């Protein structure tokens, strides 16, 4: 593994500034992946390092899974009677 040099870190800082939130609570444009650093270890911004997005779709999947598990539990409970 090689140590990231100063230009890789500066490039990551520039990408982070471009990806930072806008002042005053203005809407943020959809986040798209940028070209990544080839340094070892990788020098990434927080947006680039994020594995996925949280929010309503994730919550909906979790709630739906819980509801389906509850329905299956009731079905098994009453089938064993």
Domain that holds residue 25: 1-50
**Domain identity same for 33 and 70:** no
**Domain identity same for 45 and 57:** no
**Domain identity same for 8 and 22:** yes
Is the pLDDT reported for residue 1 higher than 60? no
Q: What is the CA radius of gyration of the chain?
A: 22
**Domain identity same for 56 and 46:** no
Residues in the chain: 81
**Domain identity same for 10 and 28:** yes
Residue burial 67-80, b: 16+ Cβ < 10 Å; e: rest:
eeeeeeeeeeeeee
Angle at 46 between CA 56 and CA 50, to 5 degrees: 45
First to last CA, the chain: 62
How much is the pTM?
A: 0.38
> How many structural domains is the chain composed of?
2
**Domain identity same for 2 and 39:** yes
**Domain identity same for 43 and 58:** no
Q: Model confidence over 11-55: pLDDT tens digits?
A: 877 777 776 655 555 665 666 655 655 666 667 777 767 766 666
User: Could you tell me if 2 and 42 are in contact, meaning their C-beta atoms sit under 8 angstroms apart?
Assistant: no
């Amino acid at each position: 593994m090689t140590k990231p040099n100063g230009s890789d870190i500066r490039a990551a800082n520039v990408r982070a500034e471009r990806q930072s939130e806008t002042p005053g609570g203005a809407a943020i444009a959809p986040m798209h992946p940028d070209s990544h650093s080839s340094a070892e270890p990788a020098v990434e911004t927080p947006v680039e390092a994020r594995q996925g997005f949280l929010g309503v779709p994730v919550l909906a999947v979790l709630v739906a899974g819980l509801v389906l598990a509850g329905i299956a539990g009731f079905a098994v409970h009453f089938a064993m009677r």
